[in-house]
Amino acid sequence: MFEEKLCKVDSGSRTISVGVRKGARQSSQQEPVLVLLHGVTRMWRDWEPMIPFLSHDWTIYGIDQRGHGKSDRADSYLVRDYANDLIDLLEQNAFGDSVVLAGHSLGGMVAAEAAAKAPQRVRAAILEDPPWDTMGHAILKTNWQSLFQGMQHVCKHAGSIDSMSHALGAIELTQADGTTIKLHQIRTDEALRWSASCLSKLDPRVLDPLIAGSWLEGLDWKSAATAIQCPTILLQADFAAGGALNDQDAQFFSQTCRTCHWMRFPGKNHQLHGTIPSQIAGVIDQFLPK
């Protein structure tokens, strides 16, 4: 059972909504803490399909990142802004002295930054398909841009979940060969409804820097790779199956981060924790203290 609490960031000017589930270990034992970081347009509950497969020993914190879910809106939505929020919370000791971070997509980039800049607070990091340069200027050459443009339109004209889900399904994605497909052709009805639910609680401005190709401004992720000291696992989905982490970035990170173990998942899409939840939970559980 999760309880929700609000944590202050930016010197108390904004609140971040956090879901909390206490672990099963006794107070005399070391309390293993896991912090879950969702991808852009989602909420912390995006991790719910995987949580039943995790050990009950974990105390879990799920964060709604700025502009998402129940967290406050903000003036800027660059990746570095999300990372600064997490580092602020870590430095406040909001989750305990030392935590394991698991981040999907945006959350993976945020986790990497926090591991590099708050090493005393992060004892391990699991980075699930962090998009890095795919969602920098290169986004202008992919169908991710048309997806986010469509999502922003749906978000700005929010109605019922049914109507938003239908509108999402009608989004046209431009392929590399110039042809188009509609989102409902590659997403299930259940996935569209969940996305609609998340968008109903999203600040539409979250998507501005992604659409403009400026999301990574001020983010030196390659330097972060050299600074990370904790054990790190990089999970790469299949780019041809809808993954967002390209081979060049994955290879650079795995070779530059001295503590990185690189795992690839052929044929699997960007949502690894949703499509193969037991496998991803198993990767995370290896960081439980013995």
pLDDT, residue 179, reads: 83
Amino acid at 144: W
d(CA 55, CA 34): 11
Nearest Cα to Cα of residue 244 among 107, 100, 114? 107
pLDDT (tens digit, 0 to 9) for every residue of the chain, 290 residues total? 899 999 999 878 899 999 999 887 655 456 899 999 999 999 999 999 999 999 999 999 999 999 999 999 999 999 999 999 999 999 999 998 899 999 999 999 999 999 999 999 999 999 999 999 988 888 888 889 999 999 999 999 988 999 999 999 999 998 777 788 999 998 999 999 999 999 999 999 999 999 999 999 999 999 999 999 999 999 999 998 999 999 999 999 999 999 999 999 999 999 999 999 999 999 999 998 86
pLDDT, residue 25, reads: 64
pLDDT, residue 158, reads: 84
| Residue 215, token pair as written in the block | 């999301």
Angle, CA of 202, 22 and 115, to the nearest 5°: 65
Largest CA distance in the chain: 61
- List C-alpha distances in Å: 141 to 2, 178, 236: 40, 11, 20
Q: What is the side-by-side strand order in the sheet with 260-265?
A: 3-9, 14-21, 59-63, 33-37, 99-104, 122-128, 232-237, 260-265
Which residue's entry shows tokens 């992060």?
Answer: 122
- Full DSSP string of 77-134: --HHHHHHHHHHHHHTTSS-SSEEEEEETHHHHHHHHHHHH-TTTEEEEEEES--GGG
Task: Yes or no: say if 121 and 229 are a contact pair by the CB < 8 Å rule.
Answer: no
Length of the chain: 290
Inter-axis angle of helices 189-199 and 161-169, nearest 10: 120
pLDDT, residue 137, reads: 83
Nearest Cα to Cα of residue 103 among 112, 94, 116, 90? 112
Nearest Cα to Cα of residue 254 among 232, 281, 239, 273? 232
Domains of the chain listed by start with CATH number: 3-136+215-285 (3.40.50.1820), 138-212 (no CATH)
pTM listed for this prediction? 0.95
Which residue's entry shows tokens 């398909």?
Answer: 129
DSSP lists the bridge partners of residue 79 as none
Count other C-beta atoms under 10 Å from residue 215's C-beta: 25
| Residue 142, token pair as written in the block | 């992919």
Q: How many CA atoms lie within 13 A of 161 on its CB side?
A: 11
Q: Which positions ≥6 away from 141 have C-beta within 8 Å? A: none
d(CA 196, CA 42): 10
DSSP lists the bridge partners of residue 2 as none
d(CA 185, CA 137): 27
Beta strand 99-104 pairing with 33-37 = parallel
DSSP lists the bridge partners of residue 128 as 104, 235
d(CA 171, CA 148): 10
| Residue 238, token pair as written in the block | 């299949």
d(CA 82, CA 275): 25
| Residue 55, token pair as written in the block | 């050990």
